Every structure is written in structure tokens, then in C-alpha cells.
Structure 1
Amino acid sequence: MPTTTYTARPIDPRALKELRTTDDAGRPTTHFTDPEGGAPLRCCLRRSEPGERIALVSYAPLRRWAAETGAAPGAYDEQGPVFIHAEECGGPAGTALPFTNAHRTVRRYSAEGHILGGELVWTPDAVDQTCTEAFEQALAEAFDDPAVALVHVRAVEYGCFLYEVRRDQRDAR
């Protein structure tokens, strides 16, 4: 049985360029030096290091995806806080699914941008599979539904967007 590798997509570099000036709520971006590190950066899909210059901005991932695809998410268009580097960075260093070491939600969306459901992924007491295996399984189950066009991986505690995974074009049904 062939395996599919799902790719976490950071925020697009064009969107990052805009967000570093004005966020999706229309507010000017304020940069700061991260004193402690640990902020989940959506530009390079890793945690910040102490002393890095970052920004906390409002981001509307579904709105930006809809602008690319012509979808009309209507009331499902939402924006929320994300951390990004204050200046351009090199993007993700690898292909591993990031931020899998805590409770996450995989939220499914249709081609129209409507929510089709969600699933809680991984709990700290899970011992039957690794975090990555749990995420791979949740993504496979999401994309087994031909109506699912993309998924958002979100933090459970705050609901914050972490990254998106899109249906592989070779897998489109």
C-alpha cells in the first residue's frame, strides 16, 4: 500500500511580506525581540529562539486561500493571532510535520471554504503510535473524503492556526 506524505505549508512568502507591514485586521505590525523563545513561527514552522525579532499578527488563512482559489468561505472566514519573523527568513528547514507534541485539531474544509468537520489529534498519554503517525493518520482520514480540499492544523488551547495541508494535486478526486 503506497504511503502519502503530507506537507505542512507555512504562510506564503507574499503574504508574509504584507503581514510584516500590516496584518489581516488592518493594523500596523509591531516587531519585538522575543526574550524567552518558544513562539510557534508560521513562516518557518519552528519555535523561536530567545533574542529573535518576531511579530504577533492577525492572519486570515482561509481568506487568503479563497483569494487564490475563488472559494467563498462566507462566515467561515476568520482571522487570528500568529507569530512570524520580523524579517524574511529561509522558511522550513525540513519536511517533518511541525508542532505535533501537543493536542491539535485537524479542521477540514471543502473547496468552497466551508468547514466539514474536525478531529482532535494526539494526546500525551497515547502510547500506541508516535505523534507523527497520529497526524499522518488524521490527515489520511481527512483526505479520504473527496469533499475535503484542505485542512488546518490548529492549537486546541487557543484555536490558533498553525499550518495548512492541501490535497495533493495527484490525489485530487
Structure 2
Amino acid sequence: MKTTYSALPIAPRALKDLRTTDDAGRPTTPFTDAEGGAPLRCCLRRGEPGERIALVSYAPLRRWASEQDIDPGAYDEQGPVFIHAEECAGPDTDALPFTNSHRTVRRYSAEGRILGGRLVEDPAAFDEAFTEAFDDPAVALVHVRAVEYGCFYYEVRRG
């Protein structure tokens, strides 16, 4: 799905760290994905059968906040994400990924505080949800997350 907004994968610097030790301090344990289908946050696509991947704990707001030199406080959370076990080329399209199911678009302020969110049920409604979020000048970025488990999929930043 094309969009006027860009889905940002996990940054290469963070991926380098996560491929050794995850954000919970656990060593990364790669495995071969026999079935494929894992939503990879490094390249924003589903994994192929036989690819080497890892399931790691990732703290997206904490990493963003450290770039901004702010403390997200109690909003700092970490959760499971799949990544390639070795460096990959990143996304190969500007199409919006992982729109095949209901998602939550969660809004954050420049101070790293949650400002609300929106349930997106229709793949065609993502642009509208992002526009609505960024029409609020207090919103600095949004996270797209799974509804069922709250897992982080990707980030969209203002401008």
C-alpha cells in the first residue's frame, strides 16, 4: 500500500546492538525459520522459509528518547520483535507494510509521553490516521502496533 508517510524500520545502529544483546539484556539467539512468515522489523517484510532470524526484546521509545536526550519515564516499554540474524538490505519498497490486520497507531509527544491512539481497521485508513495524528502539533512520532499483542511494527516520524 502506497502512503505519503514513511514506515521506519529499526535503525541499523540498533540492529547491530540487538543482534548481540537485546534491550532486556539477554543474548540474541538466532534460529532458522522453517515456516517463514515472521514480521521482520529490520526490512519490514515477512520472512521466507529457511531464513536465519532472531526474536529479540526491543524498546523503540527508549531508543528514540535517547536520540532526543529525553527520558520517556513510565512510557518506556519493550517487547518482542523479529529481525534478521545477520545484516540485511532493509526495506526494498516504500509501500506501507503489515496493513493486513487491525493495527493501533499510537501517538507520542516530543517528551516521550503517550498522547492517545487510533484503531485502524481498514488498510486504506492508515494515511488518514497518520494525518490525523500529525495534525496535532504536540505529536512527534507514532508507533504502529499489533492490536492483539501490542507488538511494535514500525515508527512514523513527523516530517
What range is the shorter-chain TM-score in? over 0.9
Structure-2 separation of matches of 1:34 and 1:85:
10
Compute the displacement of 1:71 (Å). Answer: 2.2
Cα-to-partner distance string for 1:16-53 (whole Å, 9 max, x where unaligned): 00000000000000000001111000000000000000
Larger Rg: 1
Structure-1 separation of matches of 2:113 and 2:95:
27
Specify the alignment match of 2:53 in structure 1: 54
Structure-2 separation of matches of 1:71 and 1:158:
27
1:1-173 matches, within 5 Å, as 5-123=4-122, 131=123, 133-168=124-159
Compute the displacement of 1:5 (Å). Answer: 1.1
Structure-2 separation of matches of 1:152 and 1:30:
26
Structure-2 separation of matches of 1:120 and 1:136:
13
Q: Which has the higher contact order (CA 8 A, sep 6+)?
A: 2
RMSD between superposed Cα atoms in Å: 0.9
Cα-to-partner distance string for 1:39-95 (whole Å, 9 max, x where unaligned): 000000000000000000000000000010112210000000000000000000010
Compute the displacement of 1:107 (Å). Answer: 0.1
* 4+ residue runs over 2 A deviation: none
* Percent of pairs with identical residues: 82
Compute the displacement of 1:122 (Å). Answer: 1.6
Structure 2 stretches lacking a partner, 5+ long? none
Structure 1 stretches lacking a partner, 5+ long? 124-130, 169-173
Cα-to-partner distance string for 1:73-127 (whole Å, 9 max, x where unaligned): 100000000000000000000101100010000000000000000100025xxxx
Structure-2 separation of matches of 1:113 and 1:6:
20
| TM-score for the superposition, normalised by structure 2 | 0.97
Structure-2 separation of matches of 1:72 and 1:21:
24
| TM-score for the superposition, normalised by structure 1 | 0.89
